[in-house]
Chains A and B, each alone.
Chain A
């Protein structure tokens, strides 16, 4: 066995994945080759070092899974957002609602017949985005009252 072939087999040897025939050939090569033996020792030490990363404990319960599954069934698009961006998603939804409102005012100006006002509650925004109670609290902090946000103008068709 030459060095090139031996080096390819070393990781599988360390992982105990080589059959007995290849193991014997590799062992024989390592006994006579300082360079490959050094590589084998380095790979083994690097593999051992991976063991220093400690485990973490799960920080969620079955109730969290049920709640998330329930929210997901109501709002499948929320899976596209990472959790920390939910505030941003909330803000985008609010901006969209506000944008509709502003457009409505602009295009509706001078119109004799007013359309029904658009009413969006904090709960509606939160539920449509699949947000939890904490995020809903954030929506409220952004001045959407529980009583609902009534736009001043109208949404033109």
Chain B
């Protein structure tokens, strides 16, 4: 059975480097993929994820277990994503919707691969078009499968506020992806009701 986060963080706070390494291994893929879904840029996501672990590495001794460690880590990750977004805007870097090319799935036919790539591009652009607070709520709910209550704890807000954020976000995504949604509802040129 894996060592609970609370024990690892306590060991790290006592100076046990191995405990930090274990937390790092446990969470680094999750953190980098939250940043990736939020920022839509693989390089920026790797950088933001490293910032999260640097923050953890340098400030874990100040962590007080008044919340789940994962909640605290998600909060630090959300803040790092917001900071990365602000930096991109401040330094006029490529917009977040300017998307990283993903490696091809060699098992798919060229046509299927092209369709999949195009849909992935549309989805990432749609997510990138959301306001940051809606975007992080969607990423935490859809990809990390956090409950509304957990998202409220991470974002330090109420469950009704999360409901409202996700309602607006999902309606905006539905509109942004209307081409795909309608094609799925009416395949092969089917007629609308």
Main secondary structure on A side of the interface with B: helix
Nearest A residue to B27, CB-CB: A58
- B123-A58 in contact (CB<8A): no
- A82-B88 in contact (CB<8A): yes
Query: Of A14, A55, A65, A85, which one neighbours B24 at CB under 8 angstroms?
Result: A65
Verify if A112 is at the interface (C-beta below 8 Å from B): no
- B147-A56 in contact (CB<8A): no
Task: Tell which of B1-9, B30-38, B68-76 binds the partner.
Answer: B30-38
A11–B151 alpha-carbon span in the complex (Å): 15
- B166-A54 in contact (CB<8A): no
Query: Of A11, A51, A57, A59, which one neighbours B167 at CB under 8 angstroms?
Result: A11
Main secondary structure on B side of the interface with A: helix
- B54-A72 in contact (CB<8A): yes
- B50-A60 in contact (CB<8A): yes
Nearest A residue to B172, CB-CB: A46
Number of contacting residues on B, CB 8 A?
55
Nearest A residue to B167, CB-CB: A11
Sorting the interface of chain A by its residue count into under 10, 10 to 19, 20 to 34 or 35 or more gives 35 or more
Known: A11-B167, A59-B46, A60-B46. A84 touches B36 (CB 8 A): no
Inter-chain contacts of B184 with A (CB < 8 A): 45
- A54-B51 in contact (CB<8A): no
- B49-A58 in contact (CB<8A): yes
A66–B21 alpha-carbon span in the complex (Å): 11
A138–B143 alpha-carbon span in the complex (Å): 39
Q: Which of A17-46 contact B (CB under 8 A)?
A: 17, 34, 38, 41-43, 45-46
A–B Cβ pairs within 8 angstroms, 22 of them: A11-B170, A11-B171, A12-B163, A15-B166, A42-B178, A42-B181, A45-B185, A46-B170, A49-B122, A50-B142, A52-B116, A53-B120, A53-B124, A55-B29, A55-B33, A58-B28, A58-B49, A59-B46, A65-B53, A72-B54, A79-B51, A85-B91
Closest 3 CB pairs of A and B: A46-B174, A11-B170, A82-B87
